[in-house]
Amino acid sequence: MSTNTVTPSPHSERPPRTEARAARRPGVLAAGLLLLGLATLPALVVRPDPVNPPFQDLDDRWLAWMGGPHDGPYSVLASALNWFGGPLGVVVPLALLLFLLLRRRWVSAGFLLGVYLAGNLLVVQGLKHLVDRPRPANPLVRVDHGSFPSGHAAGAALLVVLVGVLLVPAARRRAWWLGGVVFTLAMMWSRTWLHAHWLTDTAAGAAAGAGAGLLAWWLCAPALAREAVRDRRGAAATVPDTAPATP
């Protein structure tokens, strides 16, 4: 057998400009800005009266529906999501960061680290300190200060965007986005079912996380696309040619 390596044709790979085109569409930018606005504007509404904002009746009704009983499979699911969004949730971004570093995808690794930290520390924690909304009474899990927005919901939505951008091929992203919406909605439900957040906290958190991720993707798409193309070409060049050698 020949040990020749496969040299990809220039026409067999999508050029970086084509790879980045989907992310640089105005719709992606508009979606990112809209979602960030949907997180920021309610914060400005809540801030003057964090105890009794205009939509408190809606939050109270939803919390009443989440009243219990808090046992059975719902408890298992909510507890698992609580842990995944807490300390355990850091394992996934760290594993992804390690994978990118091992593949020498420095741009992608920097993008992941920067967006993850900015989304969770600057956006989420910034809004928490801006609003400082009290949480529902008697939460079923340990919580920190500030109910608005939900850090668990923001982290879930942001992680969905980051993994979709960095690992999921463009042809499969639609299915990934749909699954990511279901996962984020489940996280939002779990935070209210555990009485850790109001419903509007979780909606704002999901909007903040997804908006930050989409905006960062729009800004960094060309550099990410160039690196992704180089990574695929490098992987293809190392695949041995198993065709029989010509006599």
Domain contains 51? no
- What pLDDT does residue 119 have? 92
Would residue 60 count as lying in a domain?
no
- The residue-averaged pLDDT of 11-26 equals 57
On whether residue 83 sits in a domain, the answer given is: no
The rounded distance, in Å, linking the Cα atoms of 199 and 216 is 26
Measure the CA angle with vertex 217, ends 213 and 219; round to 5°. 120
Tell me the CA distances in angstroms from 13 to 100, 226, 233, 236, 238, one per residue in order. 21, 11, 8, 10, 16
Least confident of 23-32, 59-68, 112-121, 190-199: 23-32
* Predicted local distance difference test score (pLDDT) of residue 169: 86
Is 61 within a domain? no
pLDDT for the residue 12: 43
Residue 183 domain-assigned?
A: yes
The range of the structural domain enclosing residue 198 comes to: 16-45+88-230
pLDDT tens digits along 164-206 = 999 998 888 999 999 999 999 999 999 999 999 999 999 999 9
Whole-model pTM: value is: 0.84
Q: Is residue 150 part of a domain?
A: yes
Alpha-helical segments (H) within 14-105: 16-21, 26-46, 56-65, 73-85, 91-102
- Does some domain include residue 3? no
Top pLDDT among 88 and 11 is at 88
- Helix/strand/coil percent split, the chain, to 5: 70, 0, 30
How far apart are the C-alpha atoms of 204 and 154, rounded to whole Å? 8
The domain tally of the chain equals 1
Residue pair 57/64 in contact (Cβ under 8 Å)? The answer is no
Given pLDDT bands bounded at 50, 70 and 90, which one contains residue 11? very low
* Arithmetic mean of pLDDT, 227-232: 74
Asked if the structure places residue 223 within a domain, the reply is yes
In this prediction, residue 6 has a pLDDT band, given cuts at 50, 70 and 90, of very low
Separation CA 169–CA 151 (nearest Å): 28
